[in-house]
Amino acid sequence: MKKIVFVGAGSVVFTHGLLADLVKFPELRGMRIALHDIDPERLQVAEAVARRITGDAATVTAHLDRREALDGADFVINMVQVGGYDATVTDFEIPARYGLRQTIADTIGAGGIFRALRTFPLLDALAADIGAVCPDALLLNYTNPMAMNVWYLSGKVKNVVGLCHSVYWTMRDLAELVNVPYEEITYLAAGVNHQAWVLRFERDGRDLYPLLDVDDPQLRRRVRVDMYRRLGYYPTETSEHSAEYVPWLMHHDSEIDRLRIPVGEYLRVSEENLAEYKRTRDLVRHGGELDIAGTDEYAPQIIHSIVTGTPRVVYGNVVNDGLISNLPHGCVVEVPCVADATGVRPTAVGALPPQLAALNRTYVSVNELTVRAALEGEPRHVRHALMIDPNTAASLPLEDIWRMADELTRAHGDLLPEALRG
């Protein structure tokens, strides 16, 4: 049976959800699950959780050595967060001292750029290990910043798709908002990760967009609804995410109040994740009951489709080879993909409406400069990426942008690629 490797399995809660999704498929019974993490305690907890969830449906092994875990893999799920909570705090606290506000800080912006730079050395090592012991494996990446990581991996591994649940949960939320069962809607979304757009939203061929146009004062105080009303298309990521990818909001107190933007939100989320890990660890140690609930994530669906030949549509982050015609060739875009026995095949969408493509291009420019900084060993491109970033550029003068980059570089130190530490 197929071997599935979890890299960063110490992210216990996420590992828990993916395993619960996998065991729902009887056709995957007998699968081999290999867990890898560099933290012995977290790995031990992950193994205990995995054994409880899978029972006799899978064999579970745990490995501190990554290459050992990867040997013979068919599927590799990457969910590593390099630097953990402490690095996340750094990504918020240093920019805040310069007056730069962030909400999630994992996609673009100061936090996204430095999270990418911390992750790239890990991706180099992971790609080398995959090439050595499982070159044909499909790498399913969940680690953010999604688009930068998949772009960096392109050409380093044979098969990689980035996965995010934002399109799926946006459409579930929209269906509920217009009081139509999710199973009865059809939709098309495309763009870039965390800034894709709902291009079609229908039921039996009828456009459901007009049902979103109710004059609800509370809905008008959501960033994504405000963007929909001005741009004509609904963004596929939460208001917290969407707020920091544009230049109009984060540096205005009045906009933060009007749209209820939660500055520093990801720090609170990270603290909750740490607390949830500790609760899970204590439950495992004391024999408590785990809530084994699935998450409807794409990775288990893709694995099931490839193993069984069952076709289904998922949303994936892939290299733009003409998929979105008015975004740059070679960048990473989020588009519908067909998963079946042949693998994962992206679908060409064509041109986005020009106002949407214009916003996406700024995002893509930050991605490109960050990836080039690492590939070319050019530290100035890190500063260039920050200069182009919409929220950073709108919030800080140039001299502060460079000083902030210098301070973040010193703070993250050896986690960064060697050529970018200066």
Report, as residue numbers or ranges, the catalytic residues: 165
284: tokens are: 């495992």
The DSSP code for 319 is E
Amino acid at 72: G
Q: Report whether 296 contacts 17 (CB < 8 A).
A: no
**Spatial distance between the Cα atoms of 244 and 227, rounded to a whole number of angstroms:** 13
Greatest distance between any 2 Cα atoms in the chain: 60
Query: What torsion, rounded to 10 degrees, do the Cα atoms 230, 234, 236, 241 define?
Result: 30
Cβ count within 10 A of residue 218: 8
Q: Looking at the DSSP assignment, which residues form a beta bridge with residue 377? A: none
Q: How far apart are CA 207 and CA 111, in angstroms?
A: 38
Please choose, from the candidates 379, 381, 383, the residue with its C-alpha nearest in 3D space to the C-alpha of residue 421. Answer: 379
Roughly what angle, to the nearest 10 degrees, separates helices 265-285 and 40-54? 70
Angle at 28 between CA 50 and CA 51, to 5 degrees: 15
CB contact at 8 A, 7 and 79: yes
